[in-house]
Amino acid sequence: MADKQVIFKIQRFDPETDKKPYFKEYSVPLIDGMTVLEGLSYIQEHIDGSIAFRSSCRAGVCGSCGMHINGAYRLACETQIANLESDVITIKPLAHMKVLKDLIVDLEPFWEKYRSVKPYLIPGDPNPEIERLQTQDEREDLVGMIDCILCGCCQAACTMTGTDEEYLGPAILFKADRFAKDSRDHALKERINLTGGAHGVWRCHTIYNCQVACPKKLDPTGAIADLKRKSIDRGTRISFWGKI
């Protein structure tokens, strides 16, 4: 065939039949402007229907298709094969999560942690008639905090989520900090209590894996550092003066 072929090397695993994950290779004809996700769906449609992966929006906004592609965590849908500059594309599921099938991992613990940090606005006063006022400056604090798509790439890249299963992880702490930074939120005390535990912010060693892995170029490390500073501020006051 005249077309250029790329080899997809995909980690396969079915916990019911396989003892260990293994790699299987597929050859896919390369089309101009093809993304990794398109390659995967080509395999699913034409070569091996048993392969399983999550996908939805194909525009990099839903966060379904986070996976480990050629040495880094990326969204399959926005990764151009041409940009990888390699004839072999190695794909692994998100690390530190239980593999349910091939590239599908068990996200339930992730959502469980998400729920545990009260990820919703807790305003101090009853809702006013009109909107709550917030200056554009206060709104600017949220730039870069509201863009998280919860794809789980940072969570998988973080070395600490691998060693400590109970560690909340960068994505969750990022979410917690999004509310800690919101001028309309009045539950900072509660948020610090929820994230300032031994399996919370103190488990972070500022490795920056999350920041490097983030497909949206957000800064979870910075968010965790922000929570640490807030926690220290409160913690030292309590220790030295007994209360705030």
Site residues for other proteins, 154-193, by CB under 8 A, read: 157, 159-160, 162-168, 179, 182, 184-185, 192-193
Q: Residue 136 interacts with other proteins (CB under 8 A)?
A: yes
Binding residues for other proteins restricted to 42-101, rule: CB under 8 A: 44-64, 68, 71-72, 78, 80, 92, 95, 100-101
| In the complex, least distance from residue 5 CB atom to other proteins, rounded to whole angstroms | 18
Instruction: Report the residue from 131, 240, 241, 242 that binds other proteins according to the rule CB under 8 A.
Output: 131
* Contact call for residues 180 and 210 (beta carbons, < 8 A): no
Rounded to an integer, what distance in angstroms lies between the CA atom of residue 21 and that of residue 12? 6
Pick 2 or 32: Cβ nearer other proteins: 32
- Which residue from 70, 67, 217, 216 is spatially nearest to 156, judged by alpha carbons? 67
Binding residues for other proteins restricted to 1-40, rule: CB under 8 A: 14, 16, 33, 35
Binding residues for other proteins restricted to 138-157, rule: CB under 8 A: 138-139, 142-143, 146-147, 149-150, 157
Pick 6 or 92: Cβ nearer other proteins: 92
Length of the chain: 244
Count CB-CB contacts under 10 A for residue 61. 15
| Count of residues interacting with other proteins (CB under 8 A) | 109
| In the complex, least distance from residue 105 CB atom to other proteins, rounded to whole angstroms | 11
Pick 30 or 100: Cβ nearer other proteins: 100
Task: Give the range of 1-9, 20-28, 119-127 binding other proteins by CB under 8 A.
Answer: 119-127
Pick 39 or 211: Cβ nearer other proteins: 211
Task: Give the range of 5-13, 20-28, 195-203 binding other proteins by CB under 8 A.
Answer: 195-203
Rounded to an integer, what distance in angstroms lies between the CA atom of residue 66 and that of residue 75? 4
* Contact call for residues 24 and 14 (beta carbons, < 8 A): no
Rounded to an integer, what distance in angstroms lies between the CA atom of residue 186 and that of residue 192? 12
Task: Give the range of 3-11, 21-29, 218-226 binding other proteins by CB under 8 A.
Answer: 218-226
CA–CA distance from 41 to each of 35, 44, 54, 55, 58 (Å)?
A: 10, 5, 10, 9, 11
191 exposure class (CB count in 10 Å sphere: 0-12, 13-18, 19+): buried
> If DSSP states are collapsed to H, E and C, what string results for 183-209?
CCCCCHHHHHHHHCCCCCHHHCCCCCH
DSSP state of 12: E
